[in-house]
Structure 1
Amino acid sequence: MGNRLEGKVAIVTGGGSGIGEAISKKFAKERAKVVVAGFPEDPVEDVVKGIQQEGGTATAFTGDLSVLANAQRCVDLAVKEYGKLDILINNAGTFPETNMLSDYTEEAFDYLLKNNVRTVFCMSKAALPELQKTKGNIVTAGSESGVLGIAKNAPYGGTKGFNHAFTKGLAAEQAQTGVRCNIVAPGPIDTGWTHKETGPMDEKMEKMVTQGTLMGRRGTPEEVANVYLFLASDEASYVTGAVWPVDGGTLIAKGPAGKQAAESMKQQPEQDLNLEHSKDSHTSVRSQDK
């Protein structure tokens, strides 16, 4: 274990799978006390158990965090269990559909707004009073699609673009309270979202997203969690209102650059975290009655 977050208390939304699982386990290895939050059907209890088995400290919260009362309950749990709140990780989100806008369903759009936008609003609003006490920080999940926009993903990119602007505005207003606010903007990551078998991408889109990176591969959840760790730690004390791409060079790639990447670039690094749910895909439009 490291100690970069020793004494810190963090909430990680969407913490049961994919990037969220990696963030939860990375923070726990760095000695944060972690509230792993997600839907009741998410494997948050599994993640908490895995953290505890490796000597870390974590507890689970389940509920629909797009409901302000549930967001407040999540924050209250962190304070009740651990005495304070230092870090909010707004990682939760959904990727329900890929379609031309003419065919994009209203149900999927509403679900995007609920889980990618409203959850960020509710959790940030609920957490800020506690974060102001600790001079803490918020790190929110953006996306390279929130910068570039992506064909057949216009609504998804739109929600991430909101998160970018929302977080910059929050950083500007919260500087007077001592709270930092930043964005992590992943590109194609090796989760259920970017595989045709477990997410909404078809074979053509799956190939395009990796060829569109300079490194010719998907990133790993742990590589993204490493950047969350830096931004959430005191090492990033002079960083606020920033959008940090973790995209293998997608934002500056021109054409299918990944085909030309060196073989060493295409190899994922060895991983340190024991991730069990990185390929779990929670992308389907679910019932709103939670």
Structure 2
Amino acid sequence: MGNRLEGKVAIVTGGGTGIGEAIAKKFAAEGASVVVAGFPEDPVEQVAKDIMEQGGAAIAFSRDISSEANAKSCVELAVKQFGKLDILINNAGVFPEVNLLQDYTTEGFEYMLKNNIHSAFQMSKAALPELHKTKGNIVSAGSEAGMIGIAQNSPYGGTKGFIHAFMKGLAVEQAQFGVRCNIVGPGPIDTAWTHDSTGPMDSKMVKTMKEATPMGRRGTPEEVANVYLFLASEEASYVTGALYMVDGGITVAKGGVGTEADASMKKQPDGELELKHSKDGHTSIRK
């Protein structure tokens, strides 16, 4: 499609499903060599194969990157395979349950701490020495939940609030090394997480979510990947410590405004990527 990341090397965590698949394929289409990282049960091998079949460069990494040793191994693989590392995308995360806090399981909370916070910490720590060499950048997945807090999602929002503050702190301290750090905050996106058949939300929550979004629909994974692409590219050379919301306006909405959206806004764009795993990655099964 283009060359906005020509010659760059990127790691995309959570790259096998949902938004991660879109980021990996978007980056590859724009010239980047990509390490597609994910759990062993995620289709990271298939996503890497899809990229190579389209003429891109990719390799899969199938381990739990919340582990310090595995995070280091992921970075080492990128450097061994492609010679350097320019971009780290901390997209990996889980959304195990929706509950009032008094009913929220400790197991679910601990699972989120491991996969939403430890993974971003360990991958960022492991990647920074290489990013110093290339004057690279990190883009991490925040959330509308981390910005405004959401009922029945308060622990999840807490983990994303950490990511927002963590990346802003990194932006300040890492500028001396030439490394930019930013956050993308997705709202309701058309992945497994936002469907009652594949995620923890019930049908009432799904309906309310769409009605509360001024654009009256879920976003697509590719729409989110487009913002990651901008922030990872040289076009964002003067952007660091920023939080870019990709939420259809939900964080500024008042009431069920989505019902009033123009029909042109409610229609999802067709997109250009062939995404096979948008609805995969249901994370209620913990390990």
Instruction: Tell me the TM-score range normalised by the shorter chain.
Output: over 0.9
Alpha-carbon separation, structure 2, partners of 1:20 and 1:212: 25
Give the gaps of 5 or more residues in structure 1.
none
**Residue 256 in 1 paired to residue 256 in 2?**
yes
TM-score (norm 1): 0.98
Q: Secondary structure of 2:276's partner? A: coil
TM-score (norm 2): 0.99
Q: Which residue of the partner structure matches residue 140 of structure 1?
A: 140
Q: Secondary structure of 1:264's partner? A: helix
Q: Which residue of the partner structure matches residue 277 of structure 2?
A: 277
Alpha-carbon separation, structure 1, partners of 2:222 and 2:285: 26
Q: Which residue of the partner structure matches residue 66 of structure 2?
A: 66
Q: Secondary structure of 1:88's partner? A: strand
Q: Which residue of the partner structure matches residue 24 of structure 1?
A: 24
Alpha-carbon separation, structure 2, partners of 1:35 and 1:2: 19
Q: Secondary structure of 1:165's partner? A: helix
Alpha-carbon separation, structure 1, partners of 2:282 and 2:168: 28
Alpha-carbon separation, structure 2, partners of 1:133 and 1:213: 42
Q: How far does the alpha carbon of each residue in 1:108-166 deviate from its partner, in whole angstroms, 9 at most, with x for none?
A: 00000000000000000000000000000000000011001000000000000000000
- Are 2:19 and 2:224, in contact at CA under 8 Å, matched by a contact in 1? yes
- Divergent runs of 4+, >6 A: none
Alpha-carbon separation, structure 2, partners of 1:130 and 1:285: 34
Alpha-carbon separation, structure 1, partners of 2:6 and 2:162: 32
Q: Alignment length, in residue pairs?
A: 287
- Are 1:215 and 1:265, in contact at CA under 8 Å, matched by a contact in 2? yes
**Residue 36 in 1 paired to residue 36 in 2?**
yes
Alpha-carbon separation, structure 1, partners of 2:282 and 2:30: 27
Q: Which residue of the partner structure matches residue 199 of structure 1?
A: 199
- Are 1:107 and 1:285, in contact at CA under 8 Å, matched by a contact in 2? no
Shift of 1:283: 1.1
**Residue 131 in 1 paired to residue 131 in 2?**
yes
Q: Which residue of the partner structure matches residue 217 of structure 1?
A: 217
Alpha-carbon RMSD across the aligned residues, in angstroms, is: 0.6
Letter in 2 for 1:38: G
Q: Secondary structure of 1:157's partner? A: helix
Alpha-carbon separation, structure 2, partners of 1:282 and 1:83: 34
Matches within 5 A, 1:228-243: 228-243=228-243
Alpha-carbon separation, structure 1, partners of 2:205 and 2:99: 11
Q: Which residue of the partner structure matches residue 80 of structure 1?
A: 80
- Are 1:111 and 1:285, in contact at CA under 8 Å, matched by a contact in 2? no
Letter in 1 for 2:175: A
Alpha-carbon separation, structure 2, partners of 1:3 and 1:52: 16
Q: Which residue of the partner structure matches residue 155 of structure 2?
A: 155
Alpha-carbon separation, structure 1, partners of 2:82 and 2:93: 26
Give the gaps of 5 or more residues in structure 2.
none
Q: Secondary structure of 1:196's partner? A: coil
Identity rate, percent: 72
